[in-house]
């Protein structure tokens, strides 16, 4: 799926957000600058607006590895960035699987941990600087198998 504008990225993020529940995993792959954090910002802002929670600044948690967002109504988002992790066991050290059931889990740079997830939607971002456009590819496992967005 090609994304030609920020507005199209926002629409896709909102279409994904509509389907999210606690214990869901959204895995975002792609090179630096491909749009993972922008997509996450749109997704979380959609949820904050939906649940009438004040909008917060959404930044990539590269240095602290995880950032939590409260949406109210006992709904929370955990936004992870695995860019600095070097070994799969580090994922267990940060407590991801201890708290996952209570959060919508969004993970940037998930490649180090792909074998640890059984139920997820992976979104692969590709940026083409010649066209100044991005494209997305969806890969799902478990309840997300076959997930797609038309349009």
In a domain, 33, yes or no: yes
In a domain, 125, yes or no: yes
87: left (phi over 0), alpha (psi -120 to 50) or beta: beta
Q: What is the pTM of this model?
A: 0.91
In a domain, 42, yes or no: yes
DSSP for 121-149, written as a single string: EEEEEEEETTTTEEEEEEEEEGGGTT---
Q: What is the pLDDT of residues 84-111, one digit of tens each?
A: 888 888 888 887 888 888 999 999 999 9
In a domain, 151, yes or no: no
Range of 99's domain? 2-144
- The count of structural domains within the chain is 1
In a domain, 106, yes or no: yes
In a domain, 23, yes or no: yes
CATH number, position 120: 3.40.50.300
Q: Which of 107, 86, 112, 111 is nearest to 96 (CA)?
A: 107
DSSP for 21-69, written as a single string: -TT-EEEEE--TTSSHHHHHHHHHHHHHHHTTPPP------TTTSEEEE
The band of 151, judged by pLDDT with boundaries at 50, 70 and 90, is very low
Q: What is the pLDDT of residues 113-131, one digit of tens each?
A: 888 888 999 999 998 888 7
In a domain, 36, yes or no: yes
């Amino acid at each position: 799926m090609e994304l030609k504008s920020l507005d199209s990225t926002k629409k896709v993020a909102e279409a994904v957000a509509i389907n999210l529940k606690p214990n869901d995993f959204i895995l975002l792959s792609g090179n630096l600058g491909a749009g993972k954090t922008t997509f996450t910002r749109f997704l979380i802002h959609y949820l904050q607006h939906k649940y009438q929670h004040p909008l917060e600044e959404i930044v990539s948690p590269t240095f602290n590895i995880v950032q939590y967002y409260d949406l109210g109504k006992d709904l929370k988002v955990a936004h992870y960035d695995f860019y600095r992790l070097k070994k799969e066991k580090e994922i267990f050290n940060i407590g991801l699987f201890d708290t996952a059931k209570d959060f919508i889990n969004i993970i940037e740079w998930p490649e180090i941990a792909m074998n640890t997830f059984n139920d997820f939607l992976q979104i692969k971002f590709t940026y083409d600087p010649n066209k100044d456009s991005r494209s997305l590819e969806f890969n799902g496992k478990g309840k997300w198998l076959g997930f797609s967005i038309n349009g």
